[in-house]
Structure 1
Amino acid sequence: MEEKSEKLLVRYYSDVLEEIVVETLWAEIIEQEKGLYKIDNIPFYGPEFSCGDIVFAEYDKDEERITFRRVVEYSGNSTIQIILLDEKTDIENLRNEFKNIGCESEGTGSNYFVMEVLYELNYLPIFKKLKELEKAEIISFAEPNISNKHLSEKE
């Protein structure tokens, strides 16, 4: 049976952590012999790509695994990073609020998660919700990889 997914190593500078980060992400194999993979989960700390993007990756002998090199095709999806500031707010309830409007997320720890905004979604109501929560000092958020479509919708 042929493998359909591969773990890719990604090394990049994270503005969230203010350091070089090594992250492994699942990717669907598109054309392995050409090094083409489609990112299949949400990056945690802010590389310049999102879930659904097609990337070029190749085996790196120093890293001893298949390693991300560059984005080949952007999906138009965006990645939003959210830090929970208010300890009284239940992070799972907050993640479910966004899930109900179409945004999947992945969490780490009790106060941080990343959220995917699909290309098809209108970003304006999502952005307004994020700004409302930020103004109420419930969250802080960043947009490490926002598509041109979503960027234009919040203006």
Structure 2
Amino acid sequence: MQDENNVKILFQFHSDIFDEEMVETMWATIIDKDKGLYKLDNIPFYAPLVASDDIVFAEFDEQQQMLTYRKTVEYSGNSIIQVVLMDKSKDINSIRKKFEELGCVSEKANDGYFSMEIPALVDYTFIKHILDDLEQKEIIGYAEPCLADQHRIT
């Protein structure tokens, strides 16, 4: 993916799940290099409060020796859901496929964890119902580290 239009950006954050400082790198498309603006190409695995297609401000960090996230400039409206497989007898890929059929792509970290994008124009109500049902059956556990306003269910 490395070319003249794409860069890797470092995200540093405190994980409440792991209760430690963490880092994650993500691919981004250059929007305006001089202004430090980039559009995220990845579905974040762990980094909270950012989603694919968000436009972020990043600058070179001397200590890290790489482009480093500073703030989100424009939110895409996409949401990110982190899913942990609790019932190891179930196939994580079939669960991912169920959500993909509803318009939600995901990235698998391993056989027990994936991160899923809820696109801005997708109605989250039905997807959340499925997530809640799978969680109630103790098949998965899930978190909503980046939930766009239109996906918030009251």
TM class by smaller structure:
over 0.9
TM-score by length of 1: 0.95
Structure 1 alignment gaps of length 5 or more: none
Name the residue aligned to 2:144.
143
Q: CA deviation at 1:46?
A: 3.2
> CA contact under 8 A between 2:11 and 2:47: conserved in structure 1?
no
How many pairs align?
152
Measured after TM superposition, the shift of residue 16 of structure 1 is 2.6
Output the amino acid matched with 1:26: W
% identity of equivalent residues: 45
> Shift of the alpha carbon at 1:19?
1.2
1:36 aligns with 2:37: yes
Tell me the equivalent position of 1:13. 14
Q: Separation in 1 of the partners of 2:47 and 2:11?
A: 11
TM-score (norm 2): 0.96
Output the CA distance in 2 between the equivalents of 1:148 and 1:20.
Answer: 27
Q: Distance in 2 between matches of 1:114 and 1:15?
A: 16
Q: Which amino acid aligns with 1:146?
A: L
Q: Could you tell me whether the CA contact under 8 Å between 2:27 and 2:40 is conserved in 1?
A: yes
What secondary structure does 1:96 align onto?
A: helix
Is the partner of 1:70 in helix, strand or coil? Answer: strand
Contact 1:79 1:145 in 2 (8 A): yes
TM-fit CA distance, 1:84: 0.4
Report matched runs for 1:5-154 at 5 Å. Answer: 5-151=6-152, 154=153
CA offsets per residue over residues 71-102 of structure 1, 9 Å max, x none? 00001100000000001110011111111100
